[in-house]
Amino acid sequence: MAASLVTVGTRALVVAETESPVSRSSTTESLIAAVDAHSAHNYHPLPVVVATADGAWMTDVEGRRYLDLLAGYSALNFGHGNRRIVDAAKAQLERVTLTSRAFHHDRFAAFCEQLAELCGMEMVLPMNTGAEAVETAVKTARKWGYRVKGVPAEMAKIVVAGNNFHGRTTTIISFSTDPEARADYGPYTPGFEIVPYGDLTAMREALTENTVAVLLEPIQGEAGVLVPPAGYLPAVRELTRERNVLFVADEIQSGLGRTGRTFACEHEGVVPDAYVLGKALGGGVVPVSAVVSSAEVLGVFRPGEHGSTFGGNPLACAVALEVIAMLRTGEFQERSAELGAHLHRELALLAGTGRVTAVRGRGLWAGVDIGRAFGTGREVSEKLMDRGVLVKDTQGATIRIAPPLVIGKEDLDWGLAQLRGVLGV
């Protein structure tokens, strides 16, 4: 296969000059074969085996380099191997990594205080994964409903949006509308009502005296980076206040700088009753998640009623504290806003060609719908992989673009040029 060496800023990588699949060595093939033989087939990854990564770039076991335009579904907002985050983790590894919550440790108070401050809230309940944090938010809302609002026992209801993605536990998939996420996992957990995303009338009709919370993604990520209609989030915020219902914002993908603000809710001037955070909070190094809210809401818990062995562990807190410090400067939010505006201008030009039928998103986050004649999202992702760019498809015809916030403009432009090449622009 013919190839040329192309320099991108100070970077260099091999770029295929044809659209034929990149040849794979026996190393790649054997590693993928071993995965197929010994790992449950619950993912369908692209056929690349990453060995190292730095910033916005990854290198596979062949030595071929790829521009990462997925960033671990926003878990890597600060890039691969971010020096500040890695150094914080290394320093903590030498001290203490786990005590369990049976004892206090010296990083926990600062983590809770500074994360609450970043969110404009009062209290933090730490967990590990995003799904755990969503489960915690569900439990929090129900307990608040019973102990504070006075909802009759076993009657609490939570309203969610269609096409949501909040995780994959049995409770969470019980209120999913994705057949792949739900099929064969019943019986399902009751207590949820699903309304169309962005439909305020349906939301208003769904709220009853037994509703304890509305749980929404301010931007729906897995649904294709769907941004709700202007004014929807503020209207939901006003409605939930009127009805004495908690507004819980799942900012696991959209939060911590991804959209050009610390939180996606900020674009609409909305402050929810609780944030659900994860992914980027762990800096791409360790899983860290949390529910962040007021003392009235999180104060409903008493010892023994909820917990996690690893939740809020010293290593997680040390990493998250560095992430919080980086966000406090505002530079990553500004970078996401500026580069994001450039990204969306360039993608809008593609939409004008007919190769792309729609572009959605905010900041350095975009859902790009590919015209039917130019392939499925998976096919476009594979062609981009052959050109040294990694993205991932969703919803059949959509690819998601969400690079690390540290990406350089020159590198981003190079990645967009590869997309234009795939689409024949």
| Residue positions annotated with a catalytic role | 165, 250, 279
Yes or no: say if 58 and 68 are a contact pair by the CB < 8 Å rule.
yes
Buried b (16+ CB within 10 A) or exposed e, 359-381: bbbbbbbbbbbbbeebbebbebb
DSSP designation for 19: S
Question: Within 10 A of 417 (CB to CB), how many other CB atoms are there?
Answer: 17
Determine contact, residues 80/53, Cβ cutoff 8 Å: yes
Residue pointed to by tokens 């999180």: 298
Token digits of residue 280: 């980027």
From the list 393, 381, 392, the residue with the least C-alpha distance to 418 is: 381
Whole-number Å distance between alpha carbons of 107 and 111: 6
CA distances for 163 relative to 137, 175, 176, 224, 343, angstroms = 19, 10, 7, 9, 25
> What is the number of alpha carbons within 13 Å of residue 63 lying toward its C-beta?
2
| 222 Cα distance to chain centroid | 9
